[in-house]
Structures are given as structure tokens and as C-alpha cells.
Amino acid sequence: MDISVIDATKVNTETGLHIGESNAPVKMIEFINVRCPYCRKWFEESEELLAQFVKSGKVERIIKLFDKEKESLQRGNVMHHYIDYSAPEQALSALHKMFATQDEWGNLTLEEVATYAEKNLGLKEQ
């Protein structure tokens, strides 16, 4: 995923999905698109270690869902509308479901992706 379009001077720790204690000494900002296979790999391979750091209060994860124009990633843009930022634990669970089923919904039409999120994952558009 090309992150060169991200202007680092405009990145903040206020917006995004906050996982962990807000007073944690380390703020880790993750930009992900749930259709991106590399984001999936990162999410799945780092989850256990990051969960330990979050649980210990050392790290606060700030996940920013990154909508992309690339055709193959637009399905992820649709899924992003089903993440409830006001309920971080449920949102993290939804991200797990989305990545786990990425191969099932990843090639559907945009409309079918929305239906999949609702009917197969039990999510509601936010």
C-alpha cells in the first residue's frame, strides 16, 4: 500500500479506532485497508504481540482505516463503513472477522460487499 500520500504533519492521535489506555507512553498509529492483503498479513502476524503491549498499558493502538481509490481496495472502503468507533472492542472483533473472511468478500461487487457485511458478519453500517 502506497503510504507516500499521507502527509505526516497532518497525522494526529485524536482520530481513529483507539485500542488500549489513552495514557499509554507509546501511541502506535496503523493505517489499514481491510481489503489489502499486506494489511491483513500485518494485522494477523502482529496481533498477539500488540495485544500483550496493549494489555500491559505500554501501547495504545490507533487504527486508521485508509480508504483507497485503487479498484481492488474499494471493497475495503465499503467495509470500513461497518466499523463502530464508539465501541473499540467490538470494532476490533469486526476487523478480525473482516480479515478472516477477506477471501470470501474480496472479489464481490461493492453492493455485495455491503450485503456480506450485514448478513454474513452481522454488522451494521455506521
CATH class of 8-119: alpha beta
Q: Which residue has the cell 494485522?
A: 43
Q: Which residue has the cell 493502538?
A: 61
pLDDT-based confidence at residue 2 (cuts at 50, 70, 90): low
Q: Which residues pair with 65 in a beta bridge?
A: 32
Q: Residue 94: what residue type?
A: A
Q: What is the pLDDT of residues 5-42, one digit of tens each?
A: 777 788 888 899 999 999 999 999 999 999 999 999 99
Using DSSP's 3-state secondary structure scheme, residue 55 falls into helix
Q: What is the pTM of this model?
A: 0.89
What pLDDT score does 5 carry? 72
Using DSSP's 3-state secondary structure scheme, residue 15 falls into coil
